[in-house]
A and B are shown apart, each in its own frame.
Chain A
C-alpha cells in the first residue's frame, strides 16, 4: 500500500493542469475535504449574519435560517449555480453554514426511501 496523501506528488502530472485548478479554487482550501455541493444539498446557517460579511454572503446566511437547497438559494439570489457554489464553499469553510448532503446516490435506490416517497406522494 502506498503512503496516503502522496499518491500523485512525485508521479507524472495528471492531465488538466492541476496548478491552474489550484489557483482557481484558492490555495488554502486545497487540503480540506471539499464538500460536494449538489443542487439539492440543503444549506442551514450556523450563525447570525455578521456585519463583516459581504452582502451576498450575509443574504445566504440570513436566508438559510431554515434549510434551503442550493437550487432555491440560487433562485432567490438570482445567481447561477456556478457563481453561487464558491460563495457557499467559502461560507462552509468559515463555519457560517452547514451542508446536509442529499440521500447518497446508489446504483439502485433504497426500498425504504422509495416507500417513504410513495407515502408522501399519496398525500398530494
Chain B
C-alpha cells in the first residue's frame, strides 16, 4: 500500500524512506533473458518492494526522410524493475533488472554509466541471450559475474562446460544462484564485489 497524498500521487511508504543522511548511490545491473529471474533476484535482496521505472527511446527518422523534410519518430518503452539496499547511513545501492535481448540495449547507455558492474543471470535452457549479453558487456568494459540459476528440468552442465560454451575468460567468476533465495542472491552480489575488488588491487600493484 503506497502513501497517497491529497494530490493523488503516491509516494514512498514510511518504512521505505531513506534517512536524510543518504548522500550518494551506486548501482548494479542484473541482466538476463526473458523469465530468467531478474525481478525475483531484485526482490529477494531489496529492502523495498521492487519498483518499476519506464524508459522511452524516441528515434527520429534519419536519411532520406530528413532530406524530404518529413519527420517521423518511433517510440519504444521498456519497464525496468529495481530495488534498493541501504549500505550504511550515507551510501545506497540500487539494483536494476534489465532484459538482455539486443532490442533493449538502447537502455544500456544511461543504465551502465557509472554502474559498479553487472550480474548476468544465465538460464541453461536458453543460453544465446546470455552469450550476446556477455559479448556486449565485454565490449563496453563492464565488469560482471555470471550467476547460473537452476530451474526444474533445466539441463545441468558442469561450470567448466558452461564457461567454454559462453566463451568466458577464466578470471570471470561463475556461481550457482537461486534467485528466490535471499542468501544465495547476497552471495552472488558478494562475488561481484570481490571480483571488482580483485580487479582494483591487481591494477594498483606496482609493476
Query: A-side interface residues toward B, CB under 8 Å?
Result: 38-42, 44, 55-56, 58-59, 62-63, 66-69, 71-72, 74-83, 100-105, 108-111, 113-122, 124
Q: Are B22 and A67 in contact, CB atoms less than 8 angstroms apart?
A: yes
Q: Which residues of A contact B19 (CB under 8 A)?
A: 66-67
With A39-B27, A120-B85 as contacts: A58 and B7 at CB distance below 8 Å: yes
Q: Are A67 and B20 in contact, CB atoms less than 8 angstroms apart?
A: yes
Q: Are B200 and A108 in contact, CB atoms less than 8 angstroms apart?
A: yes
Specify which of B5, B9, B24, B56 is in contact with A102 (CB 8 Å cutoff).
B24
The answer, yes or no, to whether B164 is at the interface (CB within 8 Å) is no
Minimum CB–CB distance from B89 to chain A (whole Å) comes to 11
Minimum CB–CB distance from A10 to chain B (whole Å) comes to 26
Q: Which residues of B contact A102 (CB under 8 A)?
A: 24-27, 114
Query: B-side interface residues toward A, CB under 8 Å?
Result: 2, 5, 7-12, 17-20, 22-27, 45, 51-58, 77, 80, 82, 84-88, 91-94, 96, 110-111, 113-116, 182-183, 186, 189-190, 193-194, 196-197, 199-201, 203
Q: Are B190 and A118 in contact, CB atoms less than 8 angstroms apart?
A: yes
Minimum CB–CB distance from A65 to chain B (whole Å) comes to 8
Q: Are B85 and A124 in contact, CB atoms less than 8 angstroms apart?
A: yes
How many angstroms from the CA of A67 to the CA of B23 in the assembled complex? 8
With A66-B19, A120-B86, A121-B189 as contacts: A81 and B55 at CB distance below 8 Å: yes
With A103-B114, A118-B190 as contacts: A40 and B53 at CB distance below 8 Å: no
Specify which of A56, A71, A116, A121 is in contact with B190 (CB 8 Å cutoff).
A121
How many angstroms from the CA of A75 to the CA of B83 in the assembled complex? 11
Minimum CB–CB distance from B126 to chain A (whole Å) comes to 27
With A38-B113, A58-B7, A118-B194 as contacts: A100 and B23 at CB distance below 8 Å: yes
Q: Are B55 and A42 in contact, CB atoms less than 8 angstroms apart?
A: no
Q: Which residues of B contact A118 (CB under 8 A)?
A: 190, 193-194, 197
Minimum CB–CB distance from A18 to chain B (whole Å) comes to 15
Q: Are B54 and A81 in contact, CB atoms less than 8 angstroms apart?
A: yes
How many angstroms from the CA of A76 to the CA of B84 in the assembled complex? 14
Q: Which residues of B contact A122 (CB under 8 A)?
A: 190
Q: Are B11 and A124 in contact, CB atoms less than 8 angstroms apart?
A: no
Q: Are B110 and A38 in contact, CB atoms less than 8 angstroms apart?
A: yes
Q: Which residues of B contact A80 (CB under 8 A)?
A: 53-56, 77
Q: Which residues of B contact A117 (CB under 8 A)?
A: 26, 87, 91, 93, 116, 193
